Structure 1
Amino acid sequence: MDTTGWLATQRDDGETVGYLEPLSGDYSLVQARNLLGHPVGGPTEFLEAEELLIDRGISELAERWSLRDAPEELDGGVVILEASPDGIVVAHADLAKAGVYGRRVHVPWPDVDLLLSRETPAARET
């Protein structure tokens, strides 16, 4: 996916909270995307999408995620160690809590194939 037109959205302290993908040449219609490149909501006007990303922040990066087709040693969920246009790095969620990261896996950015999805507590119990 070509991301050259994506605009980084930053909050007042300079922290990037997501990206705006232009859906029209003048950016009047955009798709908000989180730091992983996942769509946030549907297509909307520029200012509304920018506000949405700023309000959401980056706290979702600290959550537990599932990695589709994960290697066996990463079954049980992963945490995001790094997320940037250079790629997304994940490690086993439970090991990371203990400060032991084990195997790290690189996921291409943007994750438009949705290899990463947020885990729900119910999903961990099954």
Structure 2
Amino acid sequence: MIPDDWMPHRRADGEVVGFVRQVGEAFQPMDLFGRPLGDPSDWLAVEEALDAHTIAWIDEPWLLEVDGADVRVRVVEVTPARIRVKLDDFGDVTASARFWEVPLPERGCLRPAPPATEWPSR
């Protein structure tokens, strides 16, 4: 769960794009997964970092370690309590959906996946 003292940062349309965490007298930008986007700094620099980061990166494929093996997944939901991912079925509408929940802040079990052309066939 994202800590209650982290402040959500919203873009102009109201969408939350990350969080601001206070570190002593400074502030640190955190992405939606609860991972640092940079070092602690002043408020303006943190807001600029969060605005520049956007949320487009969430739409990319990810690798989730499941029982010692990497599974290619897609993020389907991010809330302050969890990340929900599903097996990447490569658009196969007949595939059965398999989902996992990842706690927040995320601690390294999700990694960006290589392009599908580099992924072994299922």
Q: Counterpart in 1 of 2:101?
A: 106
Asked if residue 78 in structure 1 is aligned to residue 73 in structure 2, the reply is yes
TM-score (norm 2): 0.82
**Structure 2 gaps, min length 5:** none
CA shift digits 1:33-89 (9 cap, x unpaired): 11111111222222111111111110011001111x3258x8441110000112110
Is this contact kept in 2: 1:76–1:124, CA < 8 A? no
**Structure 1 gaps, min length 5:** none
Aligned residues with identical type, % of pairs: 29
Aligned residues: 119
For the aligned residue pairs, the C-alpha RMSD in angstroms reads 2.6
The one of 45, 50, 53 equivalent to 1:53 is 50
Asked if residue 90 in structure 1 is aligned to residue 85 in structure 2, the reply is yes
Larger strand share, 1 or 2:
2
The one of 17, 31, 34 equivalent to 1:34 is 31
In 1: Cα distance, 2:74 partner to 2:104 partner: 16
Asked if residue 119 in structure 1 is aligned to residue 116 in structure 2, the reply is no
TM-score (norm 1): 0.80
Q: Shift of the alpha carbon at 1:107? A: 0.5
Aligned residue identity for 2:12: D
